[in-house]
Structure 1
Amino acid sequence: MAPNPSWDDQLFSLFDDLEGQAAALYGLERDAELVDRSRAEYHQVTLDSRLVASMGEDVALTVAGVGRIEGELQRIGTGWCLVSGHAQDWIVRTARIEVVHGASERSVPEVAWSPLHRLGVSSALRRLAESQVRCVVHLLDGGQHETVVLRVGADFVEVGSPSDVPALIAFDAISAVQSRD
């Protein structure tokens, strides 16, 4: 017959049991707190920060007024990205992106971006104006202008050709610009 545990042994056993229960409850509360913190912090992640982390990846974008664009995500700027597709490049306004497939699970916070990531869409459009390549400007409403970018203003682009009367297109109306050459 086993001896009865002493009162001290019973008390220490009770304390051990209570400490174990407290540790288990603390672990559950801590896990829930970490999940809550993670969710609370995720609301600060932007689409641009996920796209920066996805540079060099093959992505598929659904763009308002254009449809599906597939290719390698090559550059990101403030409010735009460059996707190199099959035999053509696309400058896509990120505000016009509806769906992204193939993005990285990670994000890169804005404080870690290079100065090149801070360049706006006007910088990309100026490069098109300098090169004088033919392109298609896709509008948010689905309209298109097959043209050459002539000049870039503060919030618009001037397009046309030497034989056309130039047209002005507001940046806010542009969904994407597709290279033709």
Structure 2
Amino acid sequence: MTSDERLFALFDELEQEATAAYDRERSLEVGDRSRAEYRAVTLASRVVASLDTELSFDVEGVGTVRGVVGRAGDGWCLVRASQADWVVALPAVAAVRGASERSRPEVTWSPLQRLGLGAALRRLADAETECVLHQRTGARHECVVRRVGADFVEVAVRGGRGGREHRTVLVATAAIAAVRSGASAAV
């Protein structure tokens, strides 16, 4: 082997080592970047990516809610079960099974998907739908949603003489786990 051939062989070897070192470094950088970007993925963005999919939610104070996700928004989703519709407050969700592997970042959401739990509750109030409001503590109210404030919902709870009288209860929005309504509810 001539000195030129040895020199070119040495350059080839050094280039291969440099390429391998670059690939290792790039692989670590891509892994770090991937982990850093995944930290921005929210539960809501995974649920939005799972629209029209059957999911199972473990909800504080309620238990398991299973059905097809019909709508989802900022902090809530509508789950259509066989006998009822559920508006589930995502902060009350402990676990989700069956969700898409994908995520829909909030910047891609429609204006309707950007609406919060209050908007879904206002739809129930507009429809004057009889429902069961479940709190994260396990308390529940058979009621009709009347009005929705900034951080609470006003409900008319049946009680008194044969269930004909109503009393007003204010429930903090942060305390709501889910609201179950009839399958025909306009949410």
TM-score (norm 2): 0.90
Q: Distance in 1 between matches of 2:126 and 2:36?
A: 44
Q: Distance in 2 between matches of 1:15 and 1:152?
A: 73
Report the 3-state secondary structure (helix = DSSP H, G, I; strand = E; otherwise coil) of the residue aligned with 2:153. strand
Cα offset, 1:7, TM superposition: 1.2
Give percent identity, aligned residues only: 51
**Residue in structure 2 matched with residue 175 of structure 1 by the alignment:** 177
1:145 correspondence with 2:147 = no
Q: How large is the Cα RMSD of the aligned pairs?
A: 1.3
**Residue in structure 2 matched with residue 154 of structure 1 by the alignment:** 150
* Paired positions, count: 177
Contact kept, 8 Å, 1:136 with 1:180, in 2: the verdict is no
Query: Which amino acid is 1:43 matched to?
Result: R
Q: Distance in 2 between matches of 1:106 and 1:97?
A: 19
**Residue in structure 1 matched with residue 132 of structure 2 by the alignment:** 136
Query: Which amino acid is 1:92 matched to?
Result: V
**Residue in structure 1 matched with residue 93 of structure 2 by the alignment:** 97
Contact kept, 8 Å, 1:74 with 1:83, in 2: the verdict is yes
Cα offset, 1:180, TM superposition: 3.8
Match among 45, 51, 64 for residue 49 of structure 1:
45
Report the 3-state secondary structure (helix = DSSP H, G, I; strand = E; otherwise coil) of the residue aligned with 2:100. coil
Q: Distance in 1 between matches of 2:37 and 2:73?
A: 23
Question: What are the within-5 Å matches in structure 2 for residues 15-164 of structure 1?
Answer: 15-160=11-156, 161=158, 163-164=165-166
Q: Distance in 2 between matches of 1:120 and 1:81?
A: 10
Unaligned runs of 5+ in 2: 159-163
Q: Distance in 1 between matches of 2:13 and 2:116?
A: 62
Cα offset, 1:121, TM superposition: 1.3
Contact kept, 8 Å, 1:49 with 1:107, in 2: the verdict is yes
Unaligned runs of 5+ in 1: none
Q: Distance in 2 between matches of 1:155 and 1:11?
A: 75
CA offsets 1:57-100 (integer angstroms, 9 cap, x no match): 11111111111111111111211111111121000111111101
The structure with the largest alpha-carbon Rg is 1
Query: Which amino acid is 2:62 matched to?
Result: V
Query: Which amino acid is 1:28 matched to?
Result: R
